[in-house]
Amino acid sequence: MATEPGTKSKAPPRMHHSPRSRKRLLLDCVCLLYAELSSPEAMIISHSFPPISGKIAEKIKGGKFIEMKELMPDNAALKLQWADLGSNTSMKLREIEDPLSWAFYFLGFLAVMTPDRTAKELAAYGQSIIHLAQRHGGRGWQSYDRLFRQQRAAGSQLPWNELSFSLLGSTVFSGGNAKVSCQLCNGVDHVQRKSEVEI
């Protein structure tokens, strides 16, 4: 819409969403992301994690710059929703907060960038190990890695880019490897005695 000379253009109205409309908006984002990621151009690195959208994969393969945070599934959904609404204003994407999360998304970037199948599978394996460590804590991820690589060295054809459920059961999901959590606040970086002092 054109404005007359000497007048200020109005900023677009700010949208305020009720909790119900926010849920609907989130559901729309998820549906758009699913449609984009289930397209033939989407790149599946591992069955354990969401695929990388075809648009982002093409940028990476074409040598174009992307922010690592664009590989985060929730950011990808937000960008798709924004584009679908036809908005050309900038948006705030969630940031990658720590080096381990950055390494996780960089492995996805690497898997898209390299044409070598083994390198793609090893990148997916690296993502799986990081995910196990972040999600379950303890040393189960380390036990899983050791047993997995021992079986591969012994001639097993376990695929690098898929998790072995039998190994998960004996390592990550066994009681001895579970992360200890506080009974009062469910935090995982301290025991209950510390929370009792703070409360």
Query: Is residue 53 one of the residues assigned to a domain?
Result: yes
90, 42 Cβ separation under 8 angstroms: no
Confidence of residue 198 (pLDDT cuts 50, 70, 90): very low
State which residues form the domain around 60.
Answer: 46-84+93-172
The 10s digit of each residue's pLDDT in 139-173 is 999 999 999 999 999 999 999 999 999 999 999 99
Residue 48 pLDDT > 90:
no
**pLDDT given at position 197:** 45
Query: Is residue 199 one of the residues assigned to a domain?
Result: no
Confidence of residue 107 (pLDDT cuts 50, 70, 90): very high
The 10s digit of each residue's pLDDT in 65-95 is 999 999 988 777 777 666 666 666 667 888 9
Query: Is residue 63 one of the residues assigned to a domain?
Result: yes
Q: What is the largest CA-CA distance in the chain?
A: 78
42 vs 55: CA distance, rounded Å: 8
47 vs 56: CA distance, rounded Å: 18
Query: Is residue 184 one of the residues assigned to a domain?
Result: no
What is the pLDDT averaged over residues 92-104? 90
92, 36 Cβ separation under 8 angstroms: no
The sign one gets for the Cα dihedral 123, 127, 132, 138 is: positive
Query: Is residue 98 one of the residues assigned to a domain?
Result: yes
Query: Is residue 20 one of the residues assigned to a domain?
Result: no
Residue 1 pLDDT > 50:
no
Query: Is residue 37 one of the residues assigned to a domain?
Result: no
Structurally, the chain folds into a number of domains equal to 1
Amino acid at 35: A
**pLDDT given at position 46:** 76
Query: Is residue 133 one of the residues assigned to a domain?
Result: yes
